[in-house]
Each structure stands twice: as structure tokens, then as C-alpha cells.
Amino acid sequence: MQRIRLRYTKRGRLRFTSHRDFQRAFERALRRAEVPMAYSAGFTPHPKVSYANAAPTGTGSEAEYLEIALTQPRDAERLRALLDESMPTGLDIVEAVEARTSGLADRLTASVWELRLDGVTPEDARRAVDAFNAAGTVEVQRRTKNGIRTFDARSAVVTLETPEAHLPGTDAGAGPAGEAHTALLAGPTDRPCAILRLVVRHVTPAVRPDDVLSGLRAVADLAPPVPAAVTRLAQGLFDEETGTVTDPLAPDREAAATEPQPAGATAAATAPA
């Protein structure tokens, strides 16, 4: 059984799709692309798809991950292209690797987020960020199915900065992903706008970007007049030494690069035409 790991996006208006909506669209794409999926056992078999740490509904993302199991081997890049053609524009399959290591979900320990605050001046945003960073704890409340829950939103935030300062954590703003999220956040230019970037650890209870916004309201009375446009730029393993969020698919690529080729493949590659 072959396992393929995929990175996909939620862009534009498709950021309002729920995780269940994406699941339905993805399973339809699997059927359209005629992917030889492995299925679970039992009375109601379902395709073996493992989703990892999906972004909340209403947020964009350049870094969502899942893993599928196949009954027949397929080229990862060809499979990616077929699935991407079968998905709605905005839910894009942008990367695929064959799983050669274990523990993809264990590598998703932190996320890098970007928040666009329309109607907020950069000066007000910087003052709020400074107040948040200076606080020892920032208690916020969230409504859950068991009622109102109070928790500390400050301890999970590794870095919260305005874009004028360098953000240690990722270089995800460069390249195609950066261009895509910049297009997503593009908006009116006739009113003030502040951009915040933050690195958040994945803890329990989870601290989401809207919890950080609640914290900024609590410590600095920062209340954007319109809902913030939020995009996840990256997620992966947080490196304590470098302060960066690493690519969770890198170990699979490295394992593929160092894996010895079968003798037959080597002979074919070196044989004269």
C-alpha cells in the first residue's frame, strides 16, 4: 500500500468552506481522477484519508496537509495534477510527496499566520502588539459546546509582530505561496490597514488567530471595524534553536533523495541509447 502526502490551499472565497465541505469535494475529486484508493474494513468502508490540523472555517491557508493510501503505486506529481484539475479553484492541490517517514501529524506543532486589519492604523496595531507581548498572561474567553471557557492566549504565541519587523519563523511570504496570500488579502487602499504576523504553537486548548485578536482587544482595546482577513502561511515543526517553522514534507523528500535506486533502474539509466 502506497501512501501519498498532499499540501493544499484555501484561497479567496473558498476560505469560507468548512472542513466537511472540503472532505466532500476531495472525495469527489478522488473518484473523478480514478485514484486507486485503499478503503477501510467494516460495514461502511470509506477511503483511507488522514487529515491533519485543518484551519478554522473563514480563514485562508497556504499550508493544509492530508495523507491518502493507495492500493496501486502512482507517481506523486502526476497524481497531484489530476486531483488539482478535479478540485474547485481556490482549493488547490499544490504539492505531493510519497510518504517515506512516519508521523506527519507529529510534525505540525506550530503555525505562521498573517492577519489583515482593515480600518486599523499601523501605529495603533504596533501599540497593541507591544502591550500583548509585554503581558505575562492574556486571558480570553471562547464559547464551546460545554459553555464559556477562559484560557491564556499569550503563552502559545511565540512571536507577534507587524510586518515592518522581521518575523523569525518562516520565509513563507516569498514565492508562489506569498504571492497567493498577498492576492487574497488585497483590498481597498483608501483607508488605513495594518498587517500582523504571528507564530503560534499548537497547544491544548488550541489558540486561534481570533483568540489573539480577542487578546489584543483585552490588553489594548484594539477592535477592528471589520472582521480580520486571516491566512495561514505555513505550519510544521517548530525548531527551538532557529525559531523557525520547518517544512513537514522535507523529511520525505530527503528520504527519497538518499534512497538507493534498484539495480535495474540504475542499469537502465546508464545504458547507451
Nearest to 38 by CA among 67, 69, 66, 73: 69
How far is Cα of residue 117 from the mean position of the Cα atoms in its chain? 20
User: What is the CATH number that goes with domain 2-106?
Assistant: 3.30.70.580
List alpha helices for the chain, DSSP H.
19-32, 76-86, 122-134, 175-185, 209-220, 250-258, 263-270
CA pair distance 138, 218, nearest whole angstrom: 8
Grid coordinates given for 72:
496501486
pLDDT of residue 144: 82
pLDDT along the chain (273 residues), means of 10: 96 95 96 95 91 94 97 96 96 96 93 96 96 96 87 95 61 43 48 94 93 96 95 95 92 87 46 42
Task: Give the CA count within 13 Å in the CB-facing half-sphere of 108.
Answer: 18
> What pLDDT, on the 0 to 100 scale, is given for residue 259?
74
Give the model's pLDDT for residue 1: 87
Instruction: State the DSSP code for 160.
Output: E
- Does residue 205 have a cis bond before it (omega within 30 degrees)? yes
DSSP 171: -
Residue 162 burial by CB count (10 A; 0-12/13-18/19+): exposed, middle or buried?
middle
| Res 189: pLDDT | 53
Amino acid at 167: L
Query: How much is the pLDDT for 18?
Result: 94
- Which pLDDT value is given to residue 164? 64
pLDDT at 191: 82
Domain ranges of the chain: 2-106, 108-245
Contacts of residues 237-244 at CB distance under 8 Å and 24 or more positions apart, as own/partner, are 237/107, 237/108, 237/109, 237/110, 238/109, 238/110, 238/158, 238/199, 238/201, 242/168, 243/158, 243/159, 243/168, 243/169, 244/168, 244/169, 244/170
**Which pLDDT tens digit goes with each residue over 128-175?**
999 999 999 999 999 888 889 999 999 999 999 998 644 445 444 444
CA distances from 50 to 127, 169, 211 (A): 41, 26, 27
At 242 the pLDDT is 86
pLDDT score of 261? 59
